[in-house]
Structure 1
């Protein structure tokens, strides 16, 4: 061991103590070097000769953390954010092939980002971009990345997106997330009220099938919105008083943390502005068919 701290560890008691501490997997090489007043490479050399590897060798504590298992088990809150990520999130591989997740919104919706941070139990910092008045955050988590992919959210989803795997009893939460990210609510008169969602065609067809079964609306044509890289972006829209059945379905059992404030307030405004149409629409379909 003359090349690896022979003088320091000539004492067998010191050597045995080093090996004993290393086998506990509680000490890093720098920590052991401080204990024995030697260099890190000396510790690594001795342990290498003794065929002992430190469990945390080469691993560093992440600066920003989150609940990596957030999307592994779907519940109402995680399902809502899955829908929101499907609409406004992005999965990509950064430097050193690290798997990253990013989301960005209008700066005025930064409060909603804070709800997402809280749900993820994350300390990540929210960034602001003045040029386009947006806000967002990015996290490095291979577990979240892989969980989202397994559920149907693909990397670079702007170019490829199919259906998403969500339990039937949680679909209202998922679609509400998609609506908050890529949907709109507009109109001044009852006949002009409109709810619309823009997205990849397979996903919109999946959403429309849920609306047909749960809200008693009819099948409508999807309107092409754009076409790029072999993928069609379409628009699903419903008009008139029937939108109240859709919105009632989407907002049922929602919470302040799992709905975008400005869209929910517009729904309440329509509901108060057209109370008769709201009641008639809901009475027409009191018992939606089960999936």
Structure 2
């Protein structure tokens, strides 16, 4: 059974040390459990019995993180809805972010071990791994399941934490024009897009929803806020309850550049 391209011993070991089980690694590296175990033996890597039996290694995490609403939790949830992934087969969730500072902050908020998935030729974006059956269940209660991109609903977020949640959404999948006149969020879910549009409208922002079609034939929804004075207004809403660092810096700067302090 040949290895998949780019799957060197070093990459395989990194995948294992990231917390993935042999069963999870198999399709990625193109090797059987026995062959993967052989790589570990070859390099004298200490193995976790549960991990090679098919269960992801348990890492430290606050199991009840998504049970209690806070501004930090709402922001993390917004990031997860846009940049997260639920493993269908295992009790694992993943956050992907180009800005690794954000992943470290998520791990800090969730009281979680900072464990990143290995990168490779086709996977360059840093990805934080959280292994927890309870957290996966709590996300499902919020409507966030595996393969969520086309069907995720807009969660029932308490009004008090709505701005923090939307800030997370924009940090995850938002685009802000350099000049600060236009912002949009892209989603594959009609329900989520409609929910976000309703929020922007409730904030009395000049907003609209457009629809295009992907090469695969799936609809792509973009929720827009446009206007010289609209983005500063949005920024004042979004960053009211932000700390000094729980946001993407350049997005805040672009939205806030016309605020008269």
> What corresponds to 2:86 in structure 1?
91
Greater RCO, 1 or 2 (C-alpha within 8 Å, sep 6+):
2
In the alignment, structure 1 residue 234 sits paired with structure 2 residue 221: yes
Structure whose residues are more often helix by fraction: 1
> What corresponds to 1:154 in structure 2?
145
> What corresponds to 2:93 in structure 1?
101
Q: Deviations over 1:15-71 (max 9, x none)?
A: xxxxxxxxxxxxxxxxxxxxxxxxxxxxxxxxxxxxxxxxxxxxx995412001000
Partner Cα separation in structure 1 for residue 251 and residue 118 of structure 2: 22
> What corresponds to 1:117 in structure 2?
107
> What corresponds to 1:205 in structure 2?
194
Corresponding pairs, count: 204
Q: 1:226 to 1:154 in 2, by over 3 A?
A: farther
> What corresponds to 1:135 in structure 2?
126
Query: Unaligned stretches of 5+ in structure 2?
Result: 1-54
Point out the structure with max Rg over C-alpha: 1
Partner Cα separation in structure 1 for residue 254 and residue 233 of structure 2: 15
> What corresponds to 2:252 in structure 1?
264
Query: Unaligned stretches of 5+ in structure 1?
Result: 1-59, 272-277, 283-291
User: Root-mean-square deviation (CA), in Å?
Assistant: 2.5
Structure 2 counterparts to residues 1-291 of structure 1, below 5 A: 63-94=58-89, 98-106=90-98, 109-131=99-121, 132-188=123-179, 193-199=181-187, 200-214=189-203, 216-220=204-208, 222-227=209-214, 232-241=219-228, 242-268=230-256, 270-271=257-258, 278-279=259-260
Greater mean deviation of Cα atoms: 79-88 or 135-144:
135-144
SS at match of 2:148: coil
Q: CA deviation at 1:88?
A: 0.3
Q: Deviations over 1:86-108 (max 9, x none)?
A: 000011233xxx321011111xx
Report the TM-score, using the length of structure 2 for normalisation.
0.70
Q: Report if the CA contact (8 A) 1:173-1:254 is conserved.
A: yes
Q: CA deviation at 1:257?
A: 3.9
SS at match of 1:166: coil
Report the TM-score, using the length of structure 1 for normalisation.
0.64
Greater mean deviation of Cα atoms: 126-135 or 179-188:
126-135
Q: CA deviation at 1:211?
A: 1.6
